[in-house]
Structure 1
């Protein structure tokens, strides 16, 4: 049984390493929210993508709808390239979405519709884009005390 567990771990490692070494290309067929989309690959496989290094407002938060609409207008129905950065605990591909040279992750930050998720990502460019949006008081940064989505998710839900 112990050997079977080791084999499973090794195979999982190999599969995830292989997946991370390639880019995905697909058509965006669903926008769940500002930072989560589903693509359909040429192999007819649906893959859920969670944008890497950023976090958009949650449903119920200010600017959630605007972030979702921005993501939808950027990529819905379009062919995108996804640079894979990992797999999250829900099995979603963590990725950077590109259309040509335009980077959705960066565009959301630049437009004040996402936080840089510094806990998981240390990209200086993402921090700079967030700071610039704050300085220019764009969207979420016009609010006096915007609540980061990771803090919002910790709050008890109202019944």
Structure 2
């Protein structure tokens, strides 16, 4: 057996080696603890996450991401620049969020609002769905260029992270999905995959809010019932038309 230190020929009256003293051992333990704690804090709370692909799996359904909205691409999704620690870490006064498109490329997280579906904008030559431009304008005015906190649930097939998003409006923090439903600018998500609400209670609140918006004819609910097509139905019809044409 190999001992970590050679046998000591120290006389009993001589002091013990410095590396066996309580002071030395306590110092080593303290330094190691501080180093490990610092690494943990950096990885989980200070490190900036550039894209949805870089979000650790352990963050899903357990963590929120603070960031600034850099662009709104559709009525129910947008991009944020992750700003961990917010103003306490200097973001907004010491550390600037890029504004140029070139500097933002590959540095933003694509967020999909949880629990809702907004009318489809025109993409790939397809016609825009009624109220899609209104929903897009509403979302831009509500979160555009603002700091938001996104509680991430899952990742979808489009490399987006599905999240419940909160933004400060006045003196209160608002659930963006809930406010879109209240304004009649979205419907409760009815897809068969990647359905995320952030809990059963949250889903119930969303559905009740949708019923009230429908009863008071808010936003898209102003349309005659015969003309109402949900975003899910609209996308299904586009896929069917594409299959028929091929």
Q: Which residues of structure 2 form unaligned runs of 5+?
A: 1-52, 85-96, 98-106, 122-127
Q: 1:137 aligns with which of 198, 214, 217?
A: 217
The offset of 1:143, in angstroms, is 1.0
Q: 1:6 — aligned with what?
A: none
**In terms of mean alpha carbon deviation, does 111-120 or 128-137 score higher?**
111-120
Supply the RMSD in Å over aligned alpha carbons.
2.2
Q: 1:67 — aligned with what?
A: 135
The offset of 1:113, in angstroms, is 0.6
Q: What is the distance in 2 between the residues matched to 1:50 and 1:90?
A: 10
Write the deviation string for residues 30-57 of structure 1: whole angstroms up to 9, x where unpaired: 1001101000112773100000010000
Q: 1:90 aligns with which of 136, 152, 158?
A: 158
Q: 2:118 aligns with which of 56, 59, 63?
A: 56
Q: 1:117 — aligned with what?
A: 189
Q: What is the distance in 1 between the residues matched to 2:135 and 2:59?
A: 32
Q: Which residues of structure 1 form unaligned runs of 5+?
A: 1-11
The offset of 1:20, in angstroms, is 3.6
Q: 2:207 aligns with which of 103, 110, 127?
A: 127
The offset of 1:136, in angstroms, is 0.2
Q: TM-score, normalised by structure 1?
A: 0.84
Q: What is the distance in 1 between the residues matched to 2:163 and 2:146?
A: 16
Q: What is the distance in 1 between the residues matched to 2:60 and 2:118?
A: 25
Residue 151 of structure 2 is aligned to residue 151 of structure 1: no
Write the deviation string for residues 118-148 of structure 1: whole angstroms up to 9, x where unpaired: 4424510000010000000111111123101
Structure number with higher relative contact order (C-alpha < 8 Å, ≥ 6 residues apart):
1
Q: What is the distance in 2 between the residues matched to 1:20 and 1:87?
A: 11
The offset of 1:77, in angstroms, is 0.5
